[in-house]
């Protein structure tokens, strides 16, 4: 895997000068490479990793499984593209297995999400069934542990 992408996906705050030193490549090359990734859409943005569990009134998240009827020619893409337009929908994945699409949906309350599922999703053409799972607690997200595991450096020997 591209080392630059790997580093940026873990920490996007490193400066191009720092990345240039870490990778042993000229800074100009790093800048050009990042521009290229941004232009081609491989890099879609830069954001903070937030532990929403620690933010008051940050709402609730549900994982929603959808069984859908695939459309002629377009398969699952057409319905996925209609689903992803809702602002409540954070992510959409096509899955292999017992259901077809997996969504993460964010809302202010359980009631809000329930109403979104009942009134919007379930009512869409081509959606055969839904199963909603509310998230209770986050332990790890995007490769980052969100629980306070022992982080203390246990090394005491100098030299």
| Contact present, 83 and 103 (Cβ < 8 Å) | yes
Nearer to another protein, 48 or 157 (CB): 157
Shortest approach of another protein to residue 53 CB, angstroms?
22
Q: How far apart (Å, rounded) are the C-alpha atoms in residues 3 and 5?
A: 5
- Residues binding another protein: what is the number (CB under 8 A)? 15
Q: How many CB atoms lie within 10 A of CB 34?
A: 18
Nearer to another protein, 18 or 112 (CB): 18
Question: By CB under 8 A, is residue 48 in contact with another protein?
Answer: no
* Cα–Cα nearest to 90, from 124, 67, 116, 128: 116
Burial level of 91, CB count in 10 A (0-12/13-18/19+)? exposed
Encoded one letter per residue, x for contact with another protein by CB under 8 A and - for no contact, window 4-43 reads ---x---x--x---x-xxxxx-------------------
Nearer to another protein, 47 or 85 (CB): 47
Residues that bind another protein (CB under 8 A): 7, 11, 14, 18, 20-24, 153, 155-159
């Amino acid at each position: 895997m591209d080392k630059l992408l790997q580093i940026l996906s873990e920490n996007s705050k490193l400066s191009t000068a720092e990345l240039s030193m870490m990778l042993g490549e000229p800074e100009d090359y790093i800048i050009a490479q990042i521009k290229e990734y941004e232009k081609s859409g491989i890099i879609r943005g830069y954001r903070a990793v937030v532990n929403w569990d620690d933010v008051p009134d940050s709402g609730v998240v549900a994982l929603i499984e959808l069984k859908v009827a695939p459309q002629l020619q377009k398969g699952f893409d057409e319905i996925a593209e209609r689903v992803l337009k809702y602002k409540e929908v954070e992510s959409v994945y096509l899955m292999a297995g017992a259901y077809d699409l997996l969504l993460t949906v964010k809302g202010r309350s359980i009631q809000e999400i329930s109403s979104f599922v009942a009134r919007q999703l379930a009512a869409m053409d081509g959606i055969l069934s839904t199963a909603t799972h509310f998230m209770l607690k986050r332990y790890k997200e995007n490769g980052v542990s969100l629980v306070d595991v022992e982080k203390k450096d246990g090394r005491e020997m100098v030299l």
